Each structure stands twice: as C-alpha cells, then as structure tokens.
Structure 1
Amino acid sequence: MRWSCHPTPSRTVALAATLTLAFAGVTAATAPPAAATTAVSVSVDAAQQLAVIPNTGVGTNLAVFDSTMNASDTSGLLGNAGIGAVRYPGGSEADVYHWQSGTSSGGAYVAPNTGFDAFMGTARAAGAQPIITVNYGSGTPQEAAAWVQYANQTKGYGIKYWEVGNEVYGNGEYSNGSGWEYDTHSSHSATTYADNLVQYISAMKAVDPTIKIGAVLTTPGGWPDGVVGPGDTMDWNHTVLSIAGSKIDFAIVHTYPSSTSEADLLGKPQSLIPGIAATVRSLINQYAGSNAANVGIAVTEANSTSYRDTAPNGLFAPDELLTWMENGAFNVDWWALRNGSDCSGTTWVDGATDYNDYGMVASSPCEGSLDHPFPAYYGTQLITKLGAAGDTLVKAASSTSLLSAHAVRRADGDVDVMLINKDPNNSATVNLSYAGFTPSSDTPTVYSYLENGTSINSATIGSATTQTVPAYGITVVQLHPTSAPCRVVYNKNEWAGGMVGSITITNNGLGQLNGWDLGFNFAGDDKVTTTWGATINQSGPSVNALNLSSNGSVPQGGNVQFAFQSTWSSSDADPATFWLNGTACATG
C-alpha cells in the first residue's frame, strides 16, 4: 500500500514535496450520459448505531502561507461546506511557526495578515472550532504554554484541541537525515519526541487543565510504521505511547492514500480505514491505561494523492470523512481549504483539469476564478444534507463495492441516506430496505452532486425504496418516518455530579415486542454507572438500553420501565430524542 505525507505548496517547506512515504442557492447540474443502469441493493439499519457525529467531525486546514486565509469570503466557504473544525497554522508550517511574532524558522513563507488573532476571527465567523498545532520542531514547551495562556486566558477563546508538532517522524530519523519536517532537537528519535511531549503537556495543562492535547503517530501500515530507529527499542508508535500514552487526550494520524487507478482510490475508504482505526485504538488501549476509553482519534490531515481537483476526489472526500467518523474519529481535517498550484503539472481527468492542487477551492489565477470550489468541496458539502453534529451515524450496507452507502438518524427521527456511485460509466438503480425505521410514503427530497457539476442539485424525486444515482454521482435521500408509534417519559432525580434517571417506554403501535432496544444520546456528559431493569451500553454520549430476559415482552399498548444512575461534571441535560428498536418515539 502506498501513502504519502501531506503535499507542501511552492511557498512552504520544500522537503515534503520530494519525499513519498509508503502506505497503502441550489441549482441544477447536468449529468453525463450513462451507458447502462446497474441494480444495487442497500440496507439501512437505523437501530444499529455506529457513532454520534461530532461537532469537530468535518474539518479542514488553514495554512499561514495562504495570503487569502482571512479574506472576506473564507468564513462563508467554511460555513457553507459544514466545516466544524479548522486546523492552524497548517501542516509542516507548524514546526517552524512562532505564534507571538508571526514569523517562521527555516525560511518558510508566512503570508501577511495570517496571524493568530486574524485566524480566530475567521474561525469564529465560520462557527468552527480551532485545532492548534504548537511548534515542536523549533519551539519550546514554554512557547506553547504561552500560546495556551494567551488564547484561553487573555483572549478567552476557549480553544480545546492542541497538537504537539506535525509529522514529527518525518524529521530525518528514518531516512538518513533527510526529511521534510523541521526539527532542531539534537536527537530526532521517537523517545526524544515522547519525552518532550510529556514536558509540553505538563507546561500547557499547568496553564489550562481543561484542554485536550494530541500525540503524533505514524499511520499504521505506512512508512515508517514498524521501523525501529537508532537508539529506540520499539517503533515510533509503541515508543511514543509507552512513554506518553497515559498523559495524552488523543492520537493523531494522517491519511493520504495513493492509488493505481480511479477505482483503486475509490475503494480505499472501506479497504483501509477500518483497519487503521482498529490498530490505533488497540495501541491506545495497550498504553493509555484506565484513561484509554477517553482518548480519541483525530485525523488532522486527509486527502488523496491523485485526481485531486476532479470527479474521483469529489466522491472520495465524503466517503473518507464519513468512514473515519463511523470508525471512531472525532475529527477529520481535509488538506486544505486552499493549497496553491503553479499549474505546471495539469492533467485531464474525466472531462476536467486536475491542477495538482490539494485545496478544496482554487487559489491560483491559472486555475480560473479564485476560490471556485473543486469537486471535493461539493462532496464534503453534501454531508450537511446527510446529518449534523449530534445526529447518529447508523449502519448502511451496499451489495456492491461500486456504491458506498452511509446513513444518519436525525435527532428528530428522520433518516437520511448518502449513496456514492463509483462507477464512471453506469448509473445505479438503488433498491433500499430498512430495519428499525419505516419511511413515510411521501416522495423524498433528494440532494445530489453530479460529475463535474458546479453546484448541488435539489429535487423531489423517486421513493424511499428506489433511487437512481448517475454515474460518478452522489445523492442524499432525506426520509421522514411514518409516525411515532411509541412514547418515552424521562424523569430524573439529580444532585451535583450525579443523578438517577428513570424511563418509561409505552408501545403504542409497534405490535408485540419480543425484545427491545432504546437508543438515545445524552445531551450532557453523563456516564452511566449502575442500571436496573435494563442492560446499558454507552459509547460517549450514545446509549443503548437493552431489555433483560424478564422484561423483553411488551404487547402493543403495554409499557416497560428501567432506571440508571450516572455521574456528570458539566451538564446532565435531558436527551432530546429516543428510538425504540430504531423507531423515533414521542416524548413526555
């Protein structure tokens, strides 16, 4: 498998571009003619929760080499695409950037008007949470701590997520001194990074103990994963986590799959991401001790290495972002909003020009109008039609690898389905089936992005059980339930830091239940400690309460009760919505 580190534009650290790493308004657009139509089956299980969409789930990078980072249209571009997180100061720039002076070490370019406060103005205008990468390569723990103090105490920005360094393993340790990541430490070993990481964490959390700090890992399966460097006894990941694993709040990986063809690229989300995520989670469980369940996974750079500004990447972007979230990532940041291109390596791909630009929007005059979106922007934007932060990603399965399916159960009980047709020649007639959800007979609203389109379509078309997706097209089908044939009454007795909740479920119209599963999401930070009358499984805010053998039978018109005790710190606000065997219930 081949992967590369993030691409570096012409005005930043040049080494990254020379080293390839081993690792596997809505208007109508015109669809290209399809040679044939292929039948596909997609099943959606609205009761099988995969993950709650985090408010930082869909992100992008803003880099200090981008002279238009804080242009008047940037916040609108971010907001319209549903970008909930923005990473700064951008990739390898982070390890040369000194935030107080707005200057860099090593001769890297820093554009005017890209300082921290200007960036924060753009992030706030877009409603996006910042993810700050502090300078490990040429900085100090004290410089990083001063940044935390300025951001969260002096300015009151309340920045939660901080990384220590960018791709630090690219500092030459594994390539005979040649690397792309600037690092002035006398030793470039994994042990040195881990020891310094502990110092950074100590200094930064002494200023603000509420912040979350991440450690740089190599991406499992990719270079230099598995390589033991001079002076270390284990590879990078095992060394870093064996020293700092109990002190970090999240682990960081970057994903840039290379590919031998368009079809190869479009298969990568399903073939690679589940394995990468599982390996990172296993490492966290091995080294983070009792805190392992609270340690997250952030993918702070993601993109492909080919077809960057053309149709294949438009399909790949939402597939990669959603698959990562389904596999437990709380943050996935596309590289980047703007990246830049000299247009010297343009190619023609599927009827469009690939400018070799890793940005979501154009940033060079040779690419046509500045800031016009590339397909990856529109593909990402379609996620806003699928779901929002707090909604639940649920299981969706396709009968063919040529069509990816993702589904979301909305907080109001609606279910939306995204269908990504990876066949460049044939449209797909998709037959949809549902478990845990009964769609209404109304004709659904369908949003779509078609090959080489310049906007997202909207139409009322097809049915809940049959949709046609054009070749190289993406559609999002928005569905309403038939009714709310169940009711949930939620009561609680609370005190500072704890509460007992009791739930009564009434089966108004689901027929005889021989087993039940009540799903809901805590609106606060409750953690269930004890249960009565149900078995409760909790993952973050997401909860599933399952019947016991003694109370699984509930006739239509009957009810059942259970209770639980939980602890909380900031809030024990009531859940907004409940689902009984996947069906949305009325409340109160």
Structure 2
Amino acid sequence: MPGKILPRAACAALLTLTALIAPPAHAADVTPVAVTVNARAALATAPETGIGSNHAIWDSNLGTDQTADLLKDAGVKLLRYPGGSYSDIYHWATHTAPGGYVAPDTDFDTFMRGVRRTGAQAMVTANYGTGTAEEAAAWVRHANVTKGYGVKYWEIGNENYGNGHYGSAWEADDHADKSPAEYARNVVAYADAMKAADPTIKIGAVLTTPANWPDAITAEGDDGSWNKVVLSLAGPKIDFVILHWYPGALDKAGQIPDMLQLTRQQIAAYAGPGSDRIGLAMTEFNTGSSSNGTNTQPGALAAADAYASLLAGGVFTVDWWNVHNGIGNVTQVEGHTDYGDFGLLSSGVCDSGGNVCEPPLNTPFAPYHALQMVSRFARPGDQFVRAATDQPKVSAHAVRRPDGDLAVMLINTSSDTSYPVAVDYAGFTPAAGAPTVLTHTNGATAITTATTGTATGQTLPPLSLTTVVLHPAAAQTGLPGAPGRPVASNVTDRSATVSWPAAAPGARPIVKYELHRQNGAVSEQLGESAGTSYTVGNLRPGTAYTMNVIARDSGGGVSWASPPLTFTTGTPATSSCAVRFTDQTDWASGYVGAVEITNNGAPLNGWTLNFAWPRPWQSLGSGWSAVWTQTGSNVKAVNEPGNGTLATGASATIGFVANYTGPNLLPTTFTLNGTTCTTRN
C-alpha cells in the first residue's frame, strides 16, 4: 500500500536502523553451505507474465521511452495501471481522479504505448469505488475493440476491503453497502458487462492475503470472512484472484507456500465447480521494510527470494510497487544511502527540506537489479524445481530449461560472510568445465557475467545474488515427454490413487512411470506403474503430500517431471474418538479455537488430547476446560477433575486462544489417549 495516494509523501516514516559495516569473513574460514538441487521435484512453470510492476497516473514519467526501455531490460512482462488506490477514483474516459493528482501524459493510451515498447502485457484495474460496470465495459470496448490493444487481464477494484467495513478506510467506496457481499454482487455485474464487450478477457476479484489484515475476520452481518463471501458469490464469474503483500520484513519468503496453499483451499472450498481454473495474481508486492532498506541491497535480496518463491508456487504475475514512487525516510543501510523509496527507478526528487536528493531520474535501485536477475534466471517456459540449503543466510532456487540446461539462483543475505557452496544435483548431471555465472553484489550498478568456478562449487559474496547456468553432461534428445498434471482420487487417511495423462514417447517406448514424493528438496519414490495410475499406501493422516510423476523408457531415459500434485490425507473414517474443531473468532493474528471431543469407544476415566501446530509461527496463548501445555510444536490438553469421565457417546468441549504471525494452517489431526481421532469440521 505505500505510495498510492501522494507520489511525494507516499512512504510511511518507520524507525530505521543504521547498518554497521564489518570486514567480510573470508570464504576459506567458513564451512561450505550444502545446496541440494532436485530436478525431479518439479514445481510450477515460469509464466510469460511473471515479472511485473505497477505504474501510477501521478507519475509523469509513466509513458517515457527511457522508462519503457529500462523496464524491458529488466525483463518486466506485465504492467499494472492506473496505480493502487487511484484505481478506485480514476475515470479513464476523462482521465481524471477527483481528490488525487493526475500527472500530464499518463492517460491510458500513453500507458499502452509504453506497455508495447516494453514488450509487456497490461493489467488494468477497473474503478469499483466510484465507478460503474458500464464505465468499465466502455473501457474494455475502447481498449480491445476500438484500439485493438488486446488487454487480457482486468481487476475489479483495488483493496476494497479497505473501505471502512472492517474499521479502517483508505480505499474510496461510494457504495452505501460496503460489505464483501456487495462487492461480490458488483463483481458479477462488472464481469457480465465487461465480457459482453470482449468475451476473451480475464476478470480478477480482490481477496485478502492469508495472515494479513483483515484476512479471516468476519464483520458484523456477514456470512463469513471477505474471501469466503466473495468467492461464494462471485467465484463462477472470475478467472483469477488478486493478492497484495507487504510483509514488512526481509525474511518472509518461507511463508509463501502456505499463503498460496490457504488461498487455493479457500478457492476450492467456496468458488464452486471448476474453480481449479482460477489463477493467482500478486498484483502488488514490496518488501515494505524501510527500516531494513527499500531500495538498497537487503530489499533486493528479499525481492528476488519472494519473486522466485511466488512464481514457483504458480502465481502468474508478481507486480512490484512501484516503477517510480518518491523519496521517503532517508537512512544508511549496509554502507549505502537508502531513500525510503519503494520504486524500481529513482524519481530524481529531493526531500521536503531539499537537504537530500535522490540520484538522477531513472537511476535503477537495487530491487530493479533483483527483478532483472530473476528474469534472467527463470525465463518463460522454464520449470521451477526444488532447491534447498543448510544455511539460513543462504537460500536457493532452481529451474530446468526446455533445452535441458539448469539454472540455480543463490542468495546470500549475510552482511559480512562470503559463503562457499557445495552443490549436489539429483536428476541432472552437469557438464564439466566452468559454468556461466551472473552476479549482483552490494552497491553494484549492474549484473556481471563471468565463466568461473564449477557446477558444484561457487563462492557467494556478502549480500549477493548469484545465478549459475549449467549445461547437461549429455545431449537431451530422444527422451520421453513429461507426463501430464496428476490428480488424486479416493483420498483417505492412509492412501490415495494418483492418476496422470500419459507422456509422449521419445526415441524408445515408455516402459514405466515412477511416482515421487517431494520431501523438501529430496525425492522419495513411492512406487511405479506400467499404466497411468497408482494407489499409494502407508500415508500419514492429516498430512499434505506433493508428488511428481516421471516416465522412463526402455533404454533408461528419463523424462522431465510432471507438474506437481498436492493433496492432504484425511483422518480415519471410524475411530474410538471424534473431534470437531472450529475456528470461532479470528482477528488476523490469533483466534479462538473450540474442540468438541466425543468418545465413541469404551468409557473413559481420564483423557489427554494431543495435536501439533503445523508451523513454528503458531503458539498457544491460553486455554480453558482443560489443563493446557505446549512443548515445542506439540500441544497437550488434560482433563480437569470435573470433565475427566466420558461415557460411550459422551462429549466434552474445551477451548483455547491461539496466536500466529504467518499463514494460519489449522491443526487437522488429534489423538485422544494415543488414538488418532476422526476429525470433523
């Protein structure tokens, strides 16, 4: 949300720490970081529109050739317009935004000229707050029928949950009813009108981001949270959902898989039949951390980590806030001036006192180079594969390219240590010789390219981005094609049947398919089949599994991995105990949980209920009607004297307050006196 209303005073003034610079530790004195790259553990395929950014109509440089050329060189493939909260006050036909500043030469046609020069696609946000469905439909008609721009992606409003319905209001909304139900009804009306003008467009609806306010909150009079209501009413009419994320810290990329999993679970639960067609777009992202550097290297490293994680998770675009944003709180971060600017490029402005001025207009900031590195690391059509390290200061991402090459991006967030890395590969054998290495270091004004090190050994400078591009040892010809996307059926607590479309044979016939589970960056083969399905047994109740299928031919040749399949096992259909767990009241950082325990077995005289938090950012606050304790991630509730006796068929209800600081995956598996219970929601 930074920088959406006033271009010169957009960034909130936050407490900033000045970095202390120490001499870097020499790599020879540091234990090598073990990096694992598993080419058989496939994730999403890099989309054409993956690298994106926001443009804003208060930016007079929005349509300049220099801006477009810089964005093109960074690999930006999607540009969003007209700019954050301005979207809900902007009227495209008159190019006005009552209550806001509109810069010269920022009209829609000028924006589209820049989009075309950049070689990108456009994402347009229709005015929900002060506009109408008819106005939006006329915009589609102008863009795609009259002008032939072919704008595919259209959002309905921007952060419309910020209209005061949950107590905080920053988003314009003239509707008397500000509920999610009213927004959803209008999404349906907008979608019908806009698709009547051009049936080929894709319509996006605004959702709240898991664990970010006001996610999970149910306001008075609503039938559920914002996401539940919007998806339930508008789900059949939309093609993608819109998330925004300003994590406010530089170490949150590890929360992204759960964020996406929860969003997909909500879509599947509420959006109706065929909801798997609905895509995910992160149309605003910024580290949101002026205390640690918005336009210096720490912010850039966090940006690269987040972009790669989101794209690997199947998000079809991640759009940086913003191209130009303006000066904010000026500090020194890791030896360089941080202007508190959330832009990719310098606005070339000074602070209000004229004491500190940014570099010349359009000077790239460090996050610009991060997006450029990600675009060179993961090109459209590349398939992300699992990568991991044993050092928290070093993160790894990898992609497999259609020509058989492999690229590995390594991020060293340490301020003072050069880390040597030792890379181990599964499902890929690199060619001998020094690979091509792309590097961006703290304070650098460009990415450098060299041929250095080996496929298994590199040294990462402090605060650096490094991409290693590797050729395979043998030619990748005549191999089978990848199997199609698997699906799961007949999922129980202990088993599931996995089926997949057959792979195209290569030079030799396919003799079998192998089913592999992703266990972090390590694959565990679960079985093999001569056909296109396999029933997996010995699974754990209430556990998420991610699997890939590979084809193997008669000469031992192996295909690329299929797209990933993720499913979660249930709990026993019958058990001597049953648990009904409900999240009764949620405030986006904690909730009240109720647990109803039913004894289906012999009478009990004393009981102990156990469950585990799925994630380390979850904890027990307090509890009642039992003696509650937490050890590590494990939670235990022991009966009180008054409710320890449970006859056959009898129930006891207990409760707790939970806290969380990341995506809130709920516990799914409970044991009573050591027996796994049937869980009911």
TM-score band, normalised by shorter chain: 0.7 to 0.9
Q: Which among 450, 465, 469 is matched to residue 460 of structure 2?
A: 469
Paired with 1:117 and 1:397, the residues of 2 have a C-alpha distance of 45
Asked if 1:77 corresponds to 2:70, the answer is yes
Contact 2:88 2:131 in 1 (8 A): yes
Give the structure 2 partner of residue 184 of structure 1: 174
* Paired AA for residue 263 in structure 2: V
Q: Which among 552, 556, 560 is matched to residue 579 of structure 1?
A: 560
* Paired AA for residue 296 in structure 1: G
Q: CA, structure 1 residues 313+485, in 2 after alignment: closer, same or farther (shift >3 Å)?
A: closer
Give the structure 1 partner of residue 630 of structure 2: none
Paired with 2:458 and 2:12, the residues of 1 have a C-alpha distance of 45
Where do 5+ consecutive residues of structure 1 fail to align? 21-30, 260-264, 491-499, 519-530, 537-542, 561-577, 583-588
* Paired AA for residue 204 in structure 2: G
Identity of aligned residues (%): 44
Asked if 1:146 corresponds to 2:138, the answer is yes
Contact 2:42 2:562 in 1 (8 A): no
Shift of 1:6: 3.7
Q: Which among 347, 362, 365 is matched to residue 346 of structure 2?
A: 362
Contact 2:285 2:320 in 1 (8 A): yes
Paired with 2:531 and 2:256, the residues of 1 have a C-alpha distance of 37
Contact 1:95 1:181 in 2 (8 A): yes
Paired with 2:550 and 2:560, the residues of 1 have a C-alpha distance of 12
Return the structure number with greater helix share.
Answer: 1
Paired with 1:34 and 1:49, the residues of 2 have a C-alpha distance of 35
Q: CA, structure 1 residues 580+376, in 2 after alignment: closer, same or farther (shift >3 Å)?
A: closer
Give the structure 1 partner of residue 87 of structure 2: 94
Contact 2:215 2:226 in 1 (8 A): yes
* Paired AA for residue 154 in structure 2: W
SS of the residue 2:191 aligns to: helix
SS of the residue 2:506 aligns to: strand
User: What does the per-residue CA deviation read over 1:230-252, in whole Å, with 9 as the maximum and x for residues that have no partner?
Assistant: 33121211111111112211111
Contact 2:513 2:532 in 1 (8 A): no
Where do 5+ consecutive residues of structure 2 fail to align? 15-20, 350-356, 482-500, 517-528, 535-546, 564-681
- Asked which structure has the greater RCO (Cα within 8 Å, sep 6+), the reply is 1
* Paired AA for residue 503 in structure 1: A
* Paired AA for residue 209 in structure 1: P
Paired with 1:485 and 1:291, the residues of 2 have a C-alpha distance of 36
Shift of 1:36: 3.7
* Paired AA for residue 331 in structure 2: T
* Paired AA for residue 307 in structure 2: L
Shift of 1:322: 0.9
SS of the residue 1:395 aligns to: strand
User: What does the per-residue CA deviation read over 1:485-529, in whole Å, with 9 as the maximum and x for residues that have no partner?
Assistant: 651478xxxxxxxxx998333469xxx9986589xxxxxxxxxxx
Q: CA, structure 1 residues 465+11, in 2 after alignment: closer, same or farther (shift >3 Å)?
A: closer
Q: CA, structure 1 residues 479+108, in 2 after alignment: closer, same or farther (shift >3 Å)?
A: same
User: What does the per-residue CA deviation read over 1:283-337, in whole Å, with 9 as the maximum and x for residues that have no partner?
Assistant: 1111222221110110000001221011111101111111011112111100011
Shift of 1:72: 1.8
Paired with 2:44 and 2:462, the residues of 1 have a C-alpha distance of 29
Shift of 1:83: 0.5
Asked if 1:353 corresponds to 2:349, the answer is no
Shift of 1:483: 1.3
Contact 1:514 1:553 in 2 (8 A): yes
Q: Which has the larger radius of gyration?
A: 2
Q: CA, structure 1 residues 532+503, in 2 after alignment: closer, same or farther (shift >3 Å)?
A: farther
Q: Which among 269, 274, 287 is matched to residue 291 of structure 1?
A: 274
Asked if 1:422 corresponds to 2:413, the answer is yes
Asked if 1:311 corresponds to 2:297, the answer is yes
Shift of 1:534: 3.7
Paired with 2:40 and 2:476, the residues of 1 have a C-alpha distance of 15
Paired with 1:103 and 1:458, the residues of 2 have a C-alpha distance of 45
Q: CA, structure 1 residues 81+483, in 2 after alignment: closer, same or farther (shift >3 Å)?
A: same
Contact 1:6 1:301 in 2 (8 A): no
* Paired AA for residue 274 in structure 1: P
Q: Which among 307, 311, 330 is matched to residue 321 of structure 1?
A: 307
Equivalent residue runs for 1:97-136 within 5 Å: 97-105=90-98, 107-136=99-128
Contact 2:480 2:553 in 1 (8 A): no
Contact 1:6 1:91 in 2 (8 A): no
Asked if 1:483 corresponds to 2:474, the answer is yes
Paired with 2:515 and 2:376, the residues of 1 have a C-alpha distance of 27
* Paired AA for residue 77 in structure 1: L
Contact 1:534 1:546 in 2 (8 A): no
The TM-score, its normalising length taken from structure 2, stands at 0.70
Paired with 1:439 and 1:517, the residues of 2 have a C-alpha distance of 24
* Paired AA for residue 172 in structure 2: Y
User: What does the per-residue CA deviation read over 1:205-262, in whole Å, with 9 as the maximum and x for residues that have no partner?
Assistant: 1111111111101111111112222331212111111111122111111000113xxx
Give the structure 1 partner of residue 585 of structure 2: none
Q: Which among 218, 243, 251 is matched to residue 233 of structure 2?
A: 243
Shift of 1:390: 1.0
Give the structure 1 partner of residue 505 of structure 2: 504
Contact 1:361 1:373 in 2 (8 A): yes
Paired with 2:120 and 2:479, the residues of 1 have a C-alpha distance of 34
Give the structure 2 partner of residue 585 of structure 1: none
Contact 2:405 2:469 in 1 (8 A): yes
Q: CA, structure 1 residues 124+242, in 2 after alignment: closer, same or farther (shift >3 Å)?
A: same
CA-based RMSD: 2.9
Give the structure 2 partner of residue 199 of structure 1: 189
Give the structure 2 partner of residue 586 of structure 1: none
Shift of 1:431: 0.4
Give the structure 1 partner of residue 284 of structure 2: 301
Give the structure 2 partner of residue 269 of structure 1: 253
Paired with 2:503 and 2:467, the residues of 1 have a C-alpha distance of 37
Shift of 1:32: 9.1
Give the structure 1 partner of residue 319 of structure 2: 333
Paired with 1:174 and 1:439, the residues of 2 have a C-alpha distance of 54
Q: Which among 7, 10, 15 is matched to residue 6 of structure 2?
A: 10
**Number of residue pairs aligned between Structure 1 and Structure 2:** 502
SS of the residue 1:286 aligns to: helix
Asked if 1:50 corresponds to 2:31, the answer is no
User: What does the per-residue CA deviation read over 1:11-40, in whole Å, with 9 as the maximum and x for residues that have no partner?
Assistant: 48x8x86799xxxxxxxxxx9952243320
Shift of 1:157: 0.9
SS of the residue 1:579 aligns to: coil
Paired with 1:360 and 1:580, the residues of 2 have a C-alpha distance of 35
Paired with 2:561 and 2:444, the residues of 1 have a C-alpha distance of 40
Contact 1:431 1:465 in 2 (8 A): yes
Contact 1:517 1:580 in 2 (8 A): no
Give the structure 2 partner of residue 218 of structure 1: 208
Q: CA, structure 1 residues 278+100, in 2 after alignment: closer, same or farther (shift >3 Å)?
A: same
Paired with 1:471 and 1:19, the residues of 2 have a C-alpha distance of 28
Give the structure 2 partner of residue 397 of structure 1: 388
Shift of 1:385: 2.3
